[in-house]
């Protein structure tokens, strides 16, 4: 699996491409944020610890699509990873393969690149005539315009690599750092619902500073 050149090594395969046509109604969360947004108290300590670990501000989602929540432990939390350059990846995933012939999955990934604003580069490994060829490609690609959420202007990408494969991804810059959030397009959510989920995450997202 291609990952960022900074060396975030994750045991996260690209998302499953299986899907069914059973969309979930309007998204909800097991722990809604307040109407004005903000990082829920049950999540805040984990995000503060993350900010302290990387020595930089981080963005707590404030809301996540059902059945995910923003803690860093328990179920359905998935995993996190950190690199020497302080970049990080937080992955929330829930998978239900109980229905024959279909898979339901909710997978949201949040990334941060403290002190960097350039789009990360991924390794695209190909085999051509029996020879392995390594090609550098943007980890986020196929931009589809921008949206503003308060002070944050995000660019939407639909051709992404690594843990963001088959995801819609929003990326934005804040004070010399790059941040992103993405969600896999797969049942129970349709493409339009995934975009609506990302919009809602960005409306509720909260900046968490390191402890003084």
152-161, long-range: CB within 8 Å, 24+ apart, which pairs? Answer: 152/202, 152/205, 154/202, 156/195, 156/198, 161/2, 161/3, 161/122, 161/124, 161/137
pTM of this prediction exceeds 0.95: no
* Cα 176-181-187 angle, rounded to 5 deg: 170
Running DSSP on this structure, what letter comes out for residue 4? Answer: B
From first to last of the 212 residues of the chain, give the pLDDT tens digit. Answer: 333 333 333 333 334 333 333 333 333 333 433 334 699 999 999 999 999 999 999 999 999 999 999 999 988 888 999 999 999 999 999 999 887 778 899 999 999 999 999 999 998 877 777 787 778 999 999 999 999 999 999 999 999 999 999 999 999 999 999 999 999 999 999 999 999 999 999 999 999 999 97
């Amino acid at each position: 699996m291609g990952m960022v050149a900074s060396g975030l090594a994750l045991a996260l395969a690209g998302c499953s491409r299986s899907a069914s046509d059973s969309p979930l109604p309007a998204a909800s969360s097991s722990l809604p944020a307040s109407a004005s947004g903000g990082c829920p108290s049950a999540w805040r300590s984990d995000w503060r610890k993350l900010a302290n670990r990387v020595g930089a501000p981080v963005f707590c989602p404030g809301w996540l699509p059902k059945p995910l929540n923003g803690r860093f432990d328990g179920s359905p939390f998935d995993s996190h990873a950190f690199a020497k350059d302080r970049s990080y990846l937080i992955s929330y995933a829930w998978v239900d393969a109980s229905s024959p012939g279909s898979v339901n999955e909710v997978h949201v990934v949040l990334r941060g690149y403290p002190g960097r604003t350039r789009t990360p580069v991924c390794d695209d490994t190909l085999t051509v005539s029996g020879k392995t060829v390594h090609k550098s490609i943007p980890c986020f690609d196929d931009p589809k315009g921008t949206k503003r959420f308060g002070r944050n202007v995000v660019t939407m990408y639909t051709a992404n690599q690594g843990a963001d494969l088959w995801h819609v991804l929003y990326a934005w810059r804040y004070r010399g750092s790059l941040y992103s959030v993405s969600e896999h397009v797969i049942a129970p959510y349709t493409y339009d619902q995934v975009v609506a989920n990302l919009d809602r995450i960005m409306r509720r997202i909260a900046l968490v500073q390191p402890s003084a």
